[in-house]
Amino acid sequence: MTDLAQRRTALYRLYGPDGGLLYVGITHDLEQRWEDHRYWKEWWHLVHRSAIEWFPSRASALSVERAVVATESPRFDKTHRLGRGWRDHPPVTFTDPAEPHVKRALRAAIEGERFPHGRALPCRRDLATEFTTSIPTVTRVLDELVKEGFLESTTRRSYWRRGERPAPRKPKPCQGYFDADCR
């Protein structure tokens, strides 16, 4: 296996709908990195365009990333702007302007019985896709609806209408000798 520091590395820029630079990053694996952003970055749904440059090593990509952050000031980047102690700073905050709309639409969908009674709501990822927003935004909306007493949830982040907890899943039937339930 090749040394990661010597692997070919991508520098990527992510742009918003107005053409403004949202974020700059480097990675060896764009697909995995963007999947991580899709899950964790509240601003991911704002990305309308990307630009990718490949470099022969991580060090060469990192030096260009530092220069880009210093000169182009991406909206959601703090790694190089704040220096070594960047993790000690509060996160760059972003409140999705669509959050009130998402809350109203989700509440209407629940009240309109779009989701079956006694069943868990779709997963946060599916709801984020449906409402064209990020998973953290959907999570915040769902948590607000729990605080308001409209929904209930478990520690595993399953949500359902208040007073309609889904029935526990039925155990799977025995699959064979190696299944512990069969012995």
**All domains of the chain in start order, with CATH:** 4-88 (3.40.1440.10), 99-161 (1.10.10.10)
Return the exposure string of 97-106: e unless at least 16 CB atoms fall within 10 Å of the residue's CB, then b. ebbeebbeeb
State the Cα–Cα distance between residues 163 and 148, nearest whole angstrom.
13
State the Cα–Cα distance between residues 115 and 99, nearest whole angstrom.
20
* Closest C-alpha among 50, 48, 53, 49 to residue 63: 53
Q: How do the pLDDT tens digits run along the chain, 183 residues long?
A: 457 677 899 999 999 999 999 999 999 999 999 888 877 787 888 899 999 999 999 999 989 998 998 888 888 876 655 555 545 656 556 677 788 998 999 888 888 878 776 678 888 888 888 888 888 888 888 888 888 888 888 766 677 665 666 555 555 555 555 545 444
* Closest C-alpha among 80, 5, 81, 78 to residue 41: 78
